[in-house]
Chains A and B, each alone.
Chain A
Amino acid sequence: MLYPGCMVLTHFPEYELSARRVLRALGFEVGEPESFACCSSVFLPSVSDAWLNFAAYTLAQARGYEGIVTLCGTCTAMLRRGVMALRDEATRRRVNGVLSSAGLTYTSEPRVVHLLELLDERAEQLSEMVVRPRKVRVAVQNPCNLRIPGLTEMREDALTRVVTAAGAEVVEIEDECCGSALVLESQELAEAAGRRRLEQAEAAGAEGVVVACGNCAYLLERQLGGRVLFFSQLVAEALGLEVGAHA
């Protein structure tokens, strides 16, 4: 079940489209939640424990699927927090009471995996499928929320491996956050953080920054005008799949 998240759903259809094409090329059947709701992000946990209802709403809809594939770091982390919290029987019972209003029940733990982790697991297979190596020099922006101890723990250098498998050359830049969520407190702070990333990439000779999260893309591209590529677009192009033009 592909879960794009609010930012991708409202701003980056090209990311979702390339994700679907790559998943199909790898032999996956792709479905979607019957009804889409926010993962709860940083908003609901900042005010109450109702965040778990939202995470559970999506998790419960994954029944019948092998797992949930996410496209943003925060969605991945929040859905996994949900899986962990729902291991407690009393909590599960309470949340299932809420979910009953939607005709849903959370019964089993789905695997929650970011598309990047899935492609990294299959980097070798991907390399063999490449028909048009995507020869471009790029810097990578790792999604911070995929590296939370005890929760997400993506393998180090996953983005570099996947992007390299697609034929691109990765230039080294500092391992920093893009700062996109700072926009919620201060536009100025977010832009200062984002500009740092674009400047680091440019100084290293990169033609663009490869991202694996809609929030990073929103700041670096839509707000700061940087050249940004979603990793799945790069992969889709390398596999010779048709992808929509990048906005």
Chain B
Amino acid sequence: MPECTGCCRCSGVCIAVRLGGADLGPVHLRQRIFACAGCWRCLRACPEGVDVYSESMRTRRERELPESYRRALENIRATGIALPVRELNALREMHGLPPVRLPAKAVLRALTSE
């Protein structure tokens, strides 16, 4: 497995770092791990071919989740959709789009289990 050498090229292409919103250093190890635009330019910049995406997700699992993530996860567990759902099919009907069905509660329980 390719290993991080700490060259920080990932930081150099990071929009959060460029805007001063995240610390320097390899992006998958930084303190503000959730200050991430998810553009994965870091993945493209890494000369060693480190799977920065997987490393970043691993680090996130050891940290406390921001409120925005907790809310999205609650929404997913409740409806299957990450965003709050309000009169979804009324909006669709207005635009001539077919209605959507969301997963049944029992299915959501199964999908969210590991």
Contacts and interface: CB of A to CB of B under 8 A. Distances in A.
A177 B81 CA distance: 24
Interface stretch (A30-38, A125-133, A230-238): A30-38
A7 B85 CA distance: 10
B15 A36 contact: no
Interface in B70-114: 72-73, 76, 80-86, 88, 91-92, 94-98, 100-104, 106-108, 110-114
Interface in B1-40: 15-16, 19, 21, 32, 34-40
Given A41-B72, A193-B37, A54 B19 contact: no
Interface residues of A, number: 55
Interface in A180-198: 180-186, 188-189, 192-193
A149 interface: yes
B81 A32 contact: no
Contacts, number: 168
B103 A35 contact: yes
Contact of A98 (B43, B96, B101, B113): B113
Interface in A49-108: 49-50, 53-54, 57, 74, 98, 101-102
Interface stretch (A13-21, A114-122, A156-164): A13-21
A178 B15 CA distance: 9
Interface of B: 15-16, 19, 21, 32, 34-41, 43-44, 53, 57, 60-61, 65-66, 68-69, 72-73, 76, 80-86, 88, 91-92, 94-98, 100-104, 106-108, 110-114
